[in-house]
Amino acid sequence: MKDYDYHQPTELADALRIKKGHGGEARFVAGGTDVLVLKRAGRLDFQALISLRRVQELQGISQDKGVIRIGGGTTLTQLTASELVRGKLPALHDAVSVMGCTQMRNLATVGGNVMSAVSSGDTIPPLLALEAVCRLASPEGERAVPLADFFPGPRQTNAQDDEVLLALEFPAPQPNCGMAFYKLGRRAALDLAVVSVCILLELEAGGKRIAKARAAAGAVGPTPLRLRAAEEKLTGAAPSEETFAAAAEAALAEAKPWDDVRASRWYRQEMIRVVLPRVAWTAVQRAQTGGRS
Ligand SMILES: Cc1cc2nc3c(=O)[nH]c(=O)nc-3n(C[C@H](O)[C@H](O)[C@H](O)COP(=O)(O)OP(=O)(O)OC[C@H]3O[C@@H](n4cnc5c(N)ncnc54)[C@H](O)[C@@H]3O)c2cc1C
């Protein structure tokens, strides 16, 4: 039997007011695919749940001029169905398509994935590579925090307890950009990543050099990670096996993979060497063809 209160506001102001009334005893919930699993496992306790599912301000995927906005309450199914995501953000589309199962994707949200702050969270590497900013709302107002600065430690964010993740915002990729994501798991479905990598590359005119590179990885350290040293190796270099191998070594140095139940440190290191160049080549191919391939 349910041993907590359940609130279903439709407006952000009401959600924030209810949260203020309950303080730390209440928890926000979106799809509940993390919150309720943890509650049932006895790893999370609360006296009230405040559902964000019907809050209008958290909905929608849109582009205004050069900025794309994805509402925190957007479900994974809505992401995969979006023409904008499919056309302009193929790496995010790839990432969401391999998350969980259909039933889970119908409930789970991008905001819940980011706020869960697990190292293997699949939407996070693409959002890091896109240089997303988290728009947070509290009774005090709104603020923006770069996603790259959002995870101080495992399962921790820099959001305050009373803040709602309203949306993720980032510049729309340029037409000469290619973006790819790959998740290596122990099986094809319903598994968390052993290693995941996302790379966004912008090629110079003619395609001989990489003008801009953004790279990020999941499950290779305590938090999702922007691979800045790898980006430095890629920027200005010619797309080649040597460049991508050097970027993978740089990624290894900054990622510091570890042993756990899913894989050993050694295996993760070897897989970064395999996966990063593969993802980089797909990004190059997509940059050359102006989209998916
Ligand atoms: C069967 C199964 C398979 C899974 N497979 C994967 C997978 O392949 N890849 C993967 O990355 N994850 C996976 N997960 C984990 C989980 O489903 C995802 O992290 C999901 O995106 C969480 O979203 P949610 O809306 O259900 O979050 P919830 O459970 O509702 O919330 C998660 C956390 O975020 C907070 N929160 C939610 N929304 C907001 C908001 N807008 N503002 C502030 N706080 C908020 C909640 O308070 C809570 O702390 C799986 C889970 C299950 C049960």
- How many Cβ atoms are within 10 Å of 11's Cβ, its own excluded? 12
CATH 3.30.390.50 segments of the chain? 177-289
Instruction: Say if CB 160 and CB 152 are below 8 A apart.
Output: no
CATH 3.30.43.10 segments of the chain? 5-51
Q: Measure the CA–CA gap between 39 and 171, rounded to whole angstroms.
A: 37
What is the tens place of the pLDDT at every residue in 210-239? 999 999 999 998 999 999 999 999 999 999
pLDDT-derived band at 113 (thresholds 50, 70, 90) equals very high
- How many Cβ atoms are within 10 Å of 267's Cβ, its own excluded? 15
Instruction: Say if CB 182 and CB 283 are below 8 A apart.
Output: no
How much distance in Å is there from the Cα of 232 to the middle of ligand 1?
A: 32
Checking if the pLDDT of 189 tops 80, the result is no
**Token output for 167:** 């949306």
Q: Whose CA is nearest to atom 19 of ligand 1?
A: 113
Q: Which of 47, 56, 116, 128 to mutate to test the pocket of ligand 1 (most atoms within 8 A of CB)?
A: 116
Please provide the average confidence, as pLDDT, over all residues in the chain: 94
pLDDT value at residue 261: 80
DSSP secondary structure letter of residue 153: B
Checking if the pLDDT of 187 tops 70, the result is no
- Paired with 61 in beta bridges are 70
Checking if the pLDDT of 293 tops 70, the result is no
Q: Measure the CA–CA gap between 255 and 194, rounded to whole angstroms.
A: 13
Mean pLDDT of 56-85: 97
Give residue ranges with CB within 6 A of ligand 1. Answer: 27-35, 37, 52, 58, 72, 99-100, 104, 107-109, 111-113, 115-116, 120-122, 164-165, 190, 192
CATH T-level topology, domain 177-289: Enolase-like; domain 1 (3.30.390)
Give the containing element (helix H, strand E) for 26.
Answer: strand 26-29
- The whole-model pTM stands at 0.96
- Paired with 69 in beta bridges are 62, 169
Q: With 0-12 CB in 10 A as exposed, 13-18 as middle and 19+ as buried, what is 220? A: buried
How much distance in Å is there from the Cα of 94 to the middle of ligand 1?
A: 18
pLDDT value at residue 291: 62
**Token output for 38:** 């943890």
Percent of the chain at pLDDT exceeding 90? 86
Indicate the CATH number of 59-171 among 3.40.50.360, 3.40.50.150, 3.30.465.10, 3.40.190.10: 3.30.465.10
CATH 3.30.465.10 segments of the chain? 59-171
* CA-based nearest residue to 268, from 217, 207, 213: 217
Q: Whose CA is nearest to atom 8 of ligand 1?
A: 99
Q: Whose CA is nearest to atom 14 of ligand 1?
A: 100
pLDDT value at residue 1: 61
pLDDT value at residue 134: 98
Q: Which of 107, 113, 145, 190 to mutate to test the pocket of ligand 1 (most atoms within 8 A of CB)?
A: 113
How much distance in Å is there from the Cα of 34 to the middle of ligand 1?
A: 5
CATH number corresponding to 5-51: 3.30.43.10
pLDDT-derived band at 268 (thresholds 50, 70, 90) equals very high
Q: How far is CA 200 from CA 47, 174, 176, 244, 265, in A?
A: 43, 11, 11, 13, 26
pLDDT value at residue 61: 98
Instruction: Say if CB 199 and CB 280 are below 8 A apart.
Output: yes
pLDDT value at residue 41: 93
Checking if the pLDDT of 46 tops 80, the result is yes
Atom of ligand 1 nearest to the CA of 159: 43
Atom of ligand 1 nearest to the CA of 120: 11
Checking if the pLDDT of 28 tops 90, the result is yes
